[in-house]
Amino acid sequence: MKKIKSIFLTLICLLCLVLSFNSTPSYALSDITSYNNANISIKVFENLENEFLKLRNEDPQVERINEWETLARKFEIFFDKNERLSQSAQGMYDATILYEELYKKVKSEKYLDRAFIIIEKFLKDYSNHYLADDILIKKGDIYLFLLNDYEKSKDCYNEVMKNYNQGDMYELAKARIKLILDKKNNNTTSNFIGQQVRNNGGEDKFTNSNFVIVIDPGHGGEEGGAKNNSGLMEKDLTLDMALKLERILKQNTGFNVYLTRRTDKFVSLGERTEFANAKQADLFISLHINASPNKSAYGIETYYLDNTDDKSSRKLAERENKSLTFGNGKIDDLQFMLSDLIQSAKQEESIVLANNVQRELIKHLDKRWRGIKNLGVKKAPFYVLVGAHMPCILVETLFIDNYQDAKKLSNENFRQDVAHALYVAILRFFDEK
């Protein structure tokens, strides 16, 4: 009997021990001490990333300095204690951005000192990481745009071209060097993102019009958007198409054309619409690239702002709203914010604009490229369109993770054709008003 009792007590102890290991304690950041807690560390990193994106969206002017400092320090603690995790490299990149923005705000050299320390550690420990060329560009940009040190910035860009010539930053590094040469020659009319060319000649009926167009290249900076296994990134494609569209509009019309971003930088969703409102835009077009877990999905679709019960549209909106919808993929007050636009006449014009754009994209591209699928005009709660005072739409041009679509997207001629189709759609929209 005593033996049975002893065995029973032993089993009870073992059960308690197992339960204690399976419980989920609350870990403070300082409790993450090693790679042995990898799963916990990854969860901590995800929380930090959400906090990072939330802060950048809620405080784009860097007014809450203590929060920026605290978050940067949290990232430093994380990568100091989790060097073997790949997420540490992303954390170092994010911390660099935080310190860079703090310096821009208060001009304290201590922030740039911290940024340079992190950059050097990154290049030493993660030279083969996919963000290595990005952080070298970041280092060069700090020297170029914040410190006006042309030689040190050029060294950084040359290193990108030499050591990462197959990376996605190669062309940007080459363009930065051209910009440096232009600055040295006092040639301020040239710009690495493409010269704004205005040609007021010709007989086009819009030559002397003063319509204001705001083009929004989706994502940017640390918010890369969709990407595929070959390194194609949404943020790069949308910027390229936006610049091409701007160039066509300025060459052939008298429109005032503005971009919400002209470089690979983060712009919060709210700032994009605020920018369009401040410019008193006549229309706002947000450019994006689609993605799906279903790799056979392909085609083009155009959206206007409205709520929807369609699951696929809501899921797409949640992905595009990612930098604002932390964690659960919901925007609790979006229904309230939508009401103002839904009740206004602008939605009617947005639907007309969306149909014009979708029609011209399919019509123009289908003549030149095989496999263009018309997914139609749809509605969804995209936050980047909320609060716009003008007709506004969001275009999803093909699927980056579909092999055939990705081949087209990687072709500069295709992106030029997309820009031309958008140009025709814009002219048709104004012509019908």
Range of the domain at 116: 30-184
Q: Is the pLDDT of residue 293 over 80?
A: yes
SS3 279: coil
Residue 124: other Cβ atoms inside 10 A: 8
Q: For residue 306, is pLDDT > 50?
A: yes
Residues 130 and 276 in one domain: no
**With 80 as the cut, is the pLDDT of residue 214 above it?**
yes
List the one residue out of 134, 78, 67 whose CA is nearest residue 105. Answer: 67
66-75, 78-87, 110-119, 336-345: range with lowest mean pLDDT = 336-345
Q: What average pLDDT does this structure show over 19-42? A: 49
Tell me, yes or no, whether 11 lies in a domain.
no
Report the amino acid identity of residue 407: K
* Dihedral in degrees, nearest 10, Cα atoms 117, 118, 124, 128: -150
Confirm whether 37 is domain-assigned.
Answer: yes
Burial 365-379 (b: 16+ CB within 10 A, else e): beeebeebbebebbb
One domain, residues 242 and 348:
yes
pLDDT-derived band at 346, boundaries 50, 70, 90: confident
Domain count, the chain: 2
Percent of the chain scored above 70 by pLDDT? 77
Q: Please determine, for residue 417, whether its predicted confidence score (pLDDT) is greater than 90.
A: yes
Tokens of 271: 């700032």
Q: Name the residue with tokens 């339960």.
A: 19
212-230 average pLDDT score: 90
- pLDDT (0 to 100) of residue 163: 94
Among 110-119, 186-195, 249-258, 378-387, the range scoring the smallest mean pLDDT is: 186-195
Q: For position 282, which CATH number holds?
A: 3.40.630.40
What's the predicted TM-score (pTM) here? 0.60
Domain annotation covers residue 19: no
Q: Band the pLDDT of 315: cuts 50, 70, 90.
A: low
- pLDDT of amino acid 53: 78
179 & 308 share domain: no
Q: Indicate if the pLDDT at residue 99 is higher than 80.
A: yes
For tokens 């605020």, name the residue. Answer: 274
Does one domain contain both 248 and 158?
no
Are residues 142 and 218 both part of a single domain? no
**Higher-confidence position of 270 and 117:** 117
Q: What is the mean pLDDT of residues 45-59?
A: 83
Residue 217, beta-bridge partner list = 287
Q: Looking at the structure, tell me whether residues 239 and 381 fall in a common domain.
A: yes
Q: What is the percent of the chain where pLDDT is above 90?
A: 47
Kindly state whether residue 201 falls inside one of the protein's structural domains: no
Three-class DSSP category at 212: strand
| Per-residue pLDDT at 230 | 83
Is pLDDT of 4 > 60? no
pLDDT digits (tens, 9 = 90+) for 377-408: 998 777 778 778 889 999 999 999 999 999 99
Residue 10 counted as domain residue: no
Pair 173, 234 in one domain: no
pLDDT, mean over the chain: 80
pLDDT at 172 over 90: no
For 118-122, 254-258, 264-268, which range has the lowest pLDDT when averaged over its residues? 264-268
Q: Are residues 180 and 224 in the same domain?
A: no
Within 13 Å of residue 216, how many CA atoms lie on the same side as its CB? 29
Do residue 135 and residue 246 come from a single domain? Answer: no
Q: Provide the pLDDT for residue 206.
A: 64
Q: In one letter, which amino acid is 356? A: N
**According to the model, what pLDDT value does residue 83 have?**
85
> In this structure, is residue 4 part of a structural domain?
no
Do 45 and 101 have their domain in common?
yes
Q: Does the residue 83 lie in any domain? A: yes
Indicate the pLDDT class of residue 179, thresholds 50, 70 and 90. confident
Among 88-102, 144-158, 174-188, the range scoring the smallest mean pLDDT is 174-188
What pLDDT was estimated at residue 321?
54
Q: Is the pLDDT of residue 412 over 70?
A: yes
Is 267 found in the same domain as 159?
no
Q: Is 196 inside any structural domain? A: no
Q: What is the pLDDT of residue 36?
A: 52
Look up the CATH number of the domain holding residue 97. 1.25.40
pLDDT of residue 320: 52
Which residue, 242, 215, 237, 166, is CA-closest to 399? Answer: 237
